[in-house]
């Protein structure tokens, strides 16, 4: 939303610098995204009178002599009558008119923000007609986008030599407001509401414009308003609303108009304000509705009344507001035909749709040059319904932007009445229907409550004044303040809302930061575990990754997992991100391919993150069971040997450092989703002392490895960190006694683990303790047996008998 | 004959059958073709599955209990110089450490949650447009990969409320991964990290909130900092603020430069009430801010997409 500071100044007296004002608005009202500085946009542009206008034969051009008043521009020569010669190509140039002259050396305002702003010069046209500057159209002045004619100025407001900027207040700064920071403040989507807040933050009492707070009287003694509905003032206009929720209030008036599509003859303030606010002037009638919307935040819509009657097939108008029926269609003003959804609200003429409420009017009641009477609407609609309408039909008009914030029902009648005045039209009929009573909201709050929550010491008087400045009415009831909330503040319900108003209007930056005494934090064990692992893996030359929680169904399938076991995202960005992942390894296999392609020859990738599987079901909170897992994938493009053992070393390093004793059991065809990518013949299930499964380590199935296009030397693991956390060992035994070191080689056909068991059993029988570390495994070609060599570090002196017995093992 | 050979034989037969289409009356040909084709597809699928199975059966078993394969040397881990830690993880650790020093427990956020925790328990009115602003993903079951770490606020309040009865305060930070359905570009990711803070006590007020936040950023950037605020809007806090800090010198900040760091506010009484805490007796404040930008600023990164890229050219810069 764009807010002109000059427009604001009409409603609030601003006595601080623009910089301070903008900073204060940012700190106390709303996020200012940017400031468009227009203070020099209209420099060297003047009002002039065309004294002589002669057609140049065989061209569309006119040779004009213009009266520029006292203005003297270097190098611009005036003729003996003191007039300046300008060639003009517009059809509407004529003697006697006041026009806008862009003097040589000035920049065309519409080009100010372009990379190369267009500087007007002095030049010869058709080789002989000197033209000094140009007579500007509203498009060149950046007021609209129609390139048809030059702008004309009313002689009642200006005279030759006046600067355009002064006459129309164009030395301005425009605030670009972040709409999102006002989603709860429909009242601020109009200049008056914004000005009220600016007054509030400057500590001034806001004076409500008469037309908004006084009993409005229609011209020619029409009807007066009473503000305590539900009420409907009588007229032949019949308004029916099928459901009070969708349209709390609807005010309609029928006006007789002439030249319904005519533009203002003269450059008008309304047009300029509309342009400054980022909209385009259209015609007098539409401009008035837009201007009042920008001013008050209350959108208006004008129908062709006679078309409205014809569509409804009745002599008198029946406005029926209802929800759309399935399959109903409507052609909108922009020429698009929409198919309605049931939550769309339709304005109908006796049941026949004529507008998509709050969003856009229908083509069938569009105003055209033959329009004699208009039906003017000021209404409020359910923001929830319109929110859906906006999303489904992709309509983002200024009107619906306001309606979806929840336009309060207090303004319809007064704004409509102001529109009638501005249009200078004759009202024929009027009806105001409020379906919901006008409720006045009262909130009680203690001064102590306010200061207690904010951490301030604001006085009672200051608090009352601050609230009264922006329209709250306060009864000081001794202990408490009884606050009556103004009708436009639909967002205020509880005392905390009042506290927010006080804190905000007086400035949060005036609150003194303090520090409470703190207590001791409890360590988070999982967090600490992950920190330790991160440290270890870094030391071990591995790379920590964070990858998406969502994966393609195809990726899961390539890793051997069933997408049906994954929670499926229904509104995923792409099929690549459709399923919540079941384990970490598949994501890493994918990234291993990416890195192998770059190419990186060797790496170990790992990630610790949360995973979900449907078969794990729900927890006590009825949300899916989650597990914290660590995945690791190592890969070498040119690696030879058995990758399994390298992955195992990583796993063993972690478990060892955490003092967890683990066993590596040959993997049977594991059906667990986590195990799916792993090749059972070359993978181990890793269990703790008590049999709890810590994870899986191994090489990947050939089919998996190939589908991820990875080189042969690839392995990895998946570790369940929740279980790991439970099994972390206590203190490690530190042995400082006598030591004897021996090497041992045993010929065996069994597995390494079986041999170690045998060694341990034998040592135990001899009451001897030793730390066993592996050295090598040698298997002569074609032999069944392997020679397994280990290193023994005995925690005592031993005799050779034990070694002899050990060597006999097989 | 191997399974694959017999399947291929079958395929041949079906192909031969197809040639017989010439003898089928014209009006039955379509149906005939469909049937044969279905048969063919079925066999082709079987061939693919069998080939895959064969690929996975032609595998030599190994001794998984050993430390290396026979006649191979014991593998070595990679050199530490290749190692790296993810900058986001490192930074979130640092953030949590500082909050821990300030007495805050760390609770990690969930990555799949429900409407109740994401919205209802945070005072979002049903069907309120404010819910749309979060651009949430949804699963078939209506679950939500959370769009903010505030999804943990209700849980934290409930889990810790007994501390209040013991005369202690609730002080918790919640780091975690969050998700929004938005188009990805250099400054937008659908997956990113936030850190939430929750504080409840009998005496707490907005001055304390500003004090704690300033203290955190001064510790994090190791310098004194000016702070600023802006009014904000969140259904779960009242009042709500946007919190800014002066741009730190280490980030090249000059006088008058400010950075928006997070959203914060006094916890809405309805949120306390829903978690079984009496808002007449206790007050709280909460805040939440993005982690990704913090890291990008610190390292001068310009593309948020690098974080989840898994690309080692990027990641190995972070030791």
Closest Cβ–Cβ partner in A26, A539, A626 for B111:
A626
Residues A446, A430 share a domain: no
| The pLDDT of residue A229 is above 50 | no
H-only helix segments in chain B: 3-19, 26-57, 87-101, 115-118, 129-132, 153-165, 206-221, 269-274, 292-299, 312-315
Residues A705 and A686 both lie in one domain: yes
Helix (H, G, I), strand (E, B) or coil at B1: coil
Q: Which of A668, A692, A727 is the last residue of a domain?
A: A727
B-facing residues of A in 696-715 (CB < 8 A) are: 698, 701-703, 706
For chain A positions 385-414, those within 8 Å of chain B (CB to CB) are 387, 391, 404
Please report where in the chains the tokens 């801010």 appear, as a residue: B289
Output the domain CATH number for residue A11: 3.30.56
**Token couple for A392:** 């489904």
Chain A residue numbers with beta carbons less than 8 Å from the beta carbon of B65 are 664, 666, 684, 751-754, 756
Confidence band for A670, pLDDT divided at 50, 70 and 90 = low
Window B:85-114, CB contacts with A under 8 Å: 85-86, 88-90, 93, 96, 99-108, 110-114
* pLDDT tens, residue by residue, A189-209: 999 999 999 999 999 999 999
pLDDT above 90 for A652: yes
Are residues A187 and A103 located together in one domain of the fold? no
- Paired with A443 in beta bridges are A483
Size of interface A-B (CB pairs under 8 A): 345
Same domain? A357 vs A425 = yes
Q: How far apart, in whole angstroms, are the C-alpha atoms of residue A263 and residue A266?
A: 9
**So what's the pLDDT on residue A221?**
35
Q: Is residue A735 part of a domain?
A: no
d(CA A594, CA A547): 12
State the pLDDT at residue A214.
Answer: 56
Query: Is residue A715 domain-shared with residue A756, that is, in the same domain?
Result: no
Tell me if A318 is assigned to some domain.
yes
Task: Count CB atoms within 10 A of the CB of residue A650.
Answer: 26
Residues A448 and A406 in one domain: no
Please report the pLDDT score of residue A513 as a whole number: 95
Looking at A695, A727, A759, which one is the last position of a domain? A727
With a cut of 50, say whether residue A233 has pLDDT above it: no
d(CA A743, CA A750): 19
Specify if A734 maps to a domain: no
Two tokens, residue B6? 């017999």
Q: Check CB contact of A641 with chain B, cutoff 8 Å.
A: yes
Helices (H), A132-283: 164-168, 191-201, 210-213, 269-276
pLDDT digits (tens, 9 = 90+) for A102-151: 999 999 999 988 888 999 988 888 888 999 999 999 999 999 888 789 99
Do A272 and A364 belong to one domain?
A: yes
d(CA A439, CA A408) in angstroms, rounded, equals 11
Chain A residues in contact with B315 by the CB 8 A cut-off are 543-545
- The CATH code of the domain that includes A74 is 2.40.50.140
A587: tokens are 């994501």
Number of domains in chain A: 6
Interchain CB contact of B73 with A (< 8 Å): yes
Contacts of B137 in chain A (CB under 8 A): 569, 571-572
Which of A601, A598, A623 has its CA nearest to residue A612?
A623
The reply to whether A500 and A357 lie within a common domain is no
Of B69, B90, B117, the CB nearest to A645: B69
Q: Residue A450: is its pLDDT beyond 60?
A: yes
Structural domain of A485: 442-510
Using 50, 70 and 90 to split pLDDT, how confident is the model at A228?
very low
In a domain, A40, yes or no: no
Checking if the pLDDT of B11 tops 90, the result is: no
Beta-carbon-side half-sphere exposure of residue A1 (alpha carbons within 13 Å): 27
In tens, the pLDDT along B183-230 reads 899 989 999 999 999 999 999 999 999 999 999 999 999 999 999 999
Closest chain A CA to residue B184: A573
Give me the pLDDT at residue A215, please.
57
Comparing CB atoms, the residue among B70, B214, B233 nearest residue A786 is B70
CA-CA distance, B151 to B132, in Å (whole number)?
15
Q: Which two tokens stand for residue A186?
A: 């429909």
Interface of A with B in 515-544 (CB under 8 A): 515-516, 518-524, 526-527, 530-531, 534, 537-544
A575 part of contact set with chain B, CB < 8 Å:
no
User: Rounded to the nearest 5°, which phi and psi values hold at B143?
Assistant: -75, 160
Helix (DSSP H) and strand (DSSP E) numbers for chain B: 10, 7
**Same-domain check for residues A454 and A501:** yes
A389 close to A358: Cβ distance less than 8 angstroms: yes
Residue with tokens 């030359």: A541
- At A258 the pLDDT is 86
- CA distances (Å), A796 to each of A319, A745, A760, A792, A804, in order? 103, 20, 15, 11, 17
- Residues of chain A with pLDDT > 70, as a percent, come to 97
- Among the candidates A454, A487, A510, a domain finishes at A510
Give the residue with greater pLDDT, A740 vs A182: A740
- Look at residue B13 and give its three-state secondary structure: helix
The interface predicted TM-score (ipTM) is 0.91
Q: Would you say residue A330 has pLDDT above 80?
A: yes
Is A566 domain-assigned? yes
CATH number at A591 reads 3.30.930.10
Q: Please tell me the pTM assigned to this model.
A: 0.86
Q: Would you say residue A732 lies in a domain?
A: no
Is residue A713, in this structure, part of any structural domain at all?
yes
Of residues B111 and B47, which shows the higher confidence score?
B111
Distance CA A278, CA A670 (A): 65
Answer whether residue A611 shows pLDDT above 90. yes
In a shared domain, residues A164 and A181: no
CATH assignment at residue A462: 3.30.56.10
> In chain A, which among 54-113 make CB contacts under 8 A with chain B?
none
B240–A500 CB contact, under 8 Å: yes
In a domain, A93, yes or no: yes
**CATH code, domain with A799:** 3.30.70.380
CATH number (domain holding residue A234)? 3.50.40.10
Statement to judge: residues A380 and A447 lie in one domain:
no
**pLDDT of the residue at A220:** 40
| pLDDT 10s digits, A367-402 | 999 999 999 999 999 999 998 899 899 999 999 999
Considering the domain architecture, whether residues A253 and A343 belong to the same structural domain is answered as: yes
């Amino acid at each position: 939303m764009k807010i002109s500071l000059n427009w604001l100044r009409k409603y609030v007296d601003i006595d601080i610098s623009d910089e301070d004002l903008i900073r204060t608005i940012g700190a106390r009202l709303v996020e200012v995204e940017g400031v468009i500085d227009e203070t020099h946009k209209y420099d060297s542009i003047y009002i002039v009178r065309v004294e002589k206008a002669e057609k140049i034969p065989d061209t569309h051009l006119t040779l004009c002599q213009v009266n520029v008043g006292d203005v003297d521009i270097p190098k611009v020569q005036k003729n003996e009558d003191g007039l300046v010669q300008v060639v003009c190509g517009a059809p509407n140039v004529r003697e006697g008119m006041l026009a806008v002259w862009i003097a040589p050396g000035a920049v065309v305002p519409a080009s100010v923000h372009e990379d190369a702003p267009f500087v007007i010069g002095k030049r010869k046209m058709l080789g002989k007609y000197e033209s000094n500057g140009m007579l500007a159209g509203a498009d060149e002045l950046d007021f609209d986008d129609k390139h048809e004619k030059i702008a004309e100025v009313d002689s009642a407001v200006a005279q030759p030599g006046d600067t355009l900027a002064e006459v129309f207040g164009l030395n301005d700064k425009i605030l670009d407001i972040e709409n999102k920071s006002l989603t709860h403040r429909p009242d601020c989507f109009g200049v008056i509401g914004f000005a009220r807040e600016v007054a509030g933050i400057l500590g001034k009492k806001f004076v409500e414009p008469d037309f908004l707070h006084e009993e409005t009287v229609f011209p020619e003694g029409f009807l007066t308003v009473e503000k305590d509905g539900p009420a409907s003032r009588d007229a032949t206009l019949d308004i029916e609303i099928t459901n009070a929720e969708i349209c709390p209030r609807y005010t309609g008036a029928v006006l007789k108009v002439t030249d319904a599509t005519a533009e203002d003859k003269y450059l008008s303030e309304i047009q300029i304000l509309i342009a400054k606010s980022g909209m385009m002037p259209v015609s007098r009638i539409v401009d008035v509705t837009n201007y009042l919307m920008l001013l008050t935040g209350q959108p208006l819509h004008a129908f062709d009344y006679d078309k409205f009657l014809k569509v409804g097939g009745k002599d008198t108008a029946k406005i029926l507001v209802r929800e759309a029926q399935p399959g109903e269609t409507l052609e909108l003003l922009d020429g698009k035909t929409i198919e309605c959804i049931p939550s769309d609200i339709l304005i109908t003429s006796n049941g026949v749709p004529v507008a998509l409420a709050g969003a856009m009017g229908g083509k069938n009641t569009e105003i055209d040059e033959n329009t004699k009477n208009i039906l003017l609407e000021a209404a409020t609609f359910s923001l929830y319904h319109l929110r859906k309408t906006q999303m489904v039909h992709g309509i983002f008009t200024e009107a619906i932007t306001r309606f979806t914030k929840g336009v309060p029902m207090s303004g319809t009648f007064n704004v409509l009445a102001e529109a009638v005045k501005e249009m200078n039209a004759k009202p024929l009929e009027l009806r105001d229907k409020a379906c919901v009573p006008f409720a006045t909201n009262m909130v009680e709050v203690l001064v102590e409550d306010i200061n207690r929550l904010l951490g301030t010491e604001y006085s009672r008087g200051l608090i009352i004044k601050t609230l009264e400045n922006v329209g709250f009415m306060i009864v000081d009831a001794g202990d408490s303040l009884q606050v009556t909330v103004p009708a436009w503040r639909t967002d205020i319900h509880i005392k905390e809302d009042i506290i927010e108003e006080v804190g905000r209007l007086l400035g949060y930056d005036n609150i003194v930061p303090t520090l409470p005494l703190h207590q001791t934090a409890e360590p988070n064990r999982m967090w600490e575990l992950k920190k330790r692992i991160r440290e270890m893996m870094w030391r071990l030359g591995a790379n920590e990754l964070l990858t998406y929680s969502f994966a393609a169904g195809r990726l899961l399938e390539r890793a051997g997992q069933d997408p049906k076991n994954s929670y499926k995202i229904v509104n995923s960005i792409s099929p690549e991100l459709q399923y919540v992942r079941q384990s970490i390894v598949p994501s890493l296999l994918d990234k291993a391919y990416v890195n192998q392609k770059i190419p990186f020859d060797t790496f170990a990738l790992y990630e610790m993150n949360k995973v979900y599987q449907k078969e794990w079901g729900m927890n006590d909170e009825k949300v899916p069971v989650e597990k914290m897992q660590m995945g690791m994938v190592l890969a070498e493009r040119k690696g030879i040997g058995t990758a399994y053992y390298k992955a195992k070393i990583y796993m063993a390093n972690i478990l060892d450092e955490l003092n967890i004793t683990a066993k590596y059991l040959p993997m049977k065809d594991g059906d667990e989703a986590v195990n799916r990518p792993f090749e059972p013949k070359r993978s181990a299930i890793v269990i703790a002392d008590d049999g709890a499964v810590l994870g899986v380590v191994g090489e990947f199935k050939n089919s998996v490895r190939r589908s991820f296009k990875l080189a042969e030397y690839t392995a990895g693991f998946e570790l369940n960190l929740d279980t790991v956390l439970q099994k972390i060992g206590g203190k490690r035994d530190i042995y400082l006694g006598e030591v004897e070191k021996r090497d041992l080689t045993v010929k065996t056909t069994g597995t390494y683990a079986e041999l170690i068991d045998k060694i341990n059993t034998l040592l135990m029988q001899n009451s001897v303790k030793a730390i066993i570390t592996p050295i090598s495994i040698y298997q002569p070609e074609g032999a069944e047996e392997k020679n397994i060599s280990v290193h023994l570090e005995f925690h005592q002196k031993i005799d050779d008998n034990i070694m002899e017995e050990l060597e006999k093992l097989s | 004959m191997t399974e694959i050979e017999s399947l291929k034989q079958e395929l041949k037969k079906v192909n031969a059958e197809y040639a017989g289409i010439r003898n089928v009356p014209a009006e039955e040909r379509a149906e005939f073709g469909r049937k044969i084709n279905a048969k063919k597809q079925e066999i082709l699928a079987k061939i693919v599955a069998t080939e895959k199975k064969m690929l996975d059966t032609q595998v030599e078993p190994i001794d998984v209990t050993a430390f290396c394969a026979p006649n191979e040397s014991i593998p070595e881990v990679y050199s530490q110089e290749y190692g790296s830690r993810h900058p986001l993880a490192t930074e979130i650790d640092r953030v949590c450490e500082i909050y821990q020093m300030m007495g805050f427990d760390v609770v990690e956020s969930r990555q799949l949650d429900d409407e109740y925790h994401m919205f209802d328990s945070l005072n979002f009115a049903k069907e309120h447009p404010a819910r749309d602003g979060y651009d949430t993903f949804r699963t078939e079951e209506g679950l939500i990969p959370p769009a903010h770490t505030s999804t943990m606020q209700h849980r934290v309040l409930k889990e810790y409320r007994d501390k209040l009865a013991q005369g202690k305060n609730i002080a918790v930070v919640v780091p975690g991964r969050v998700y929004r359905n938005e188009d990805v570009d250099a400054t937008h990711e659908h997956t990113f990290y936030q850190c939430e803070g929750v504080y409840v006590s009998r005496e707490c007020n907005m001055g304390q909130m500003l004090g704690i936040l300033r203290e955190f950023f001064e510790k994090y950037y190791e310098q004194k900092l000016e702070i600023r605020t802006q009014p904000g809007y969140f259904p779960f806090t009242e009042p709500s603020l946007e919190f800014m800090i002066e741009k730190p010198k280490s980030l090249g900040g000059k006088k008058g430069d400010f950075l928006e760091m997070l959203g914060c506010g006094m916890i809405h009484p309805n949120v306390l009430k829903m978690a079984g805490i009496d808002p007449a007796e206790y007050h709280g404040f909460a805040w939440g801010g993005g982690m990704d930008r913090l890291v990008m600023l610190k390292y001068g990164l310009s593309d948020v997409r690098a974080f989840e890229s898994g690309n080692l050219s990027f990641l190995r810069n972070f030791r």
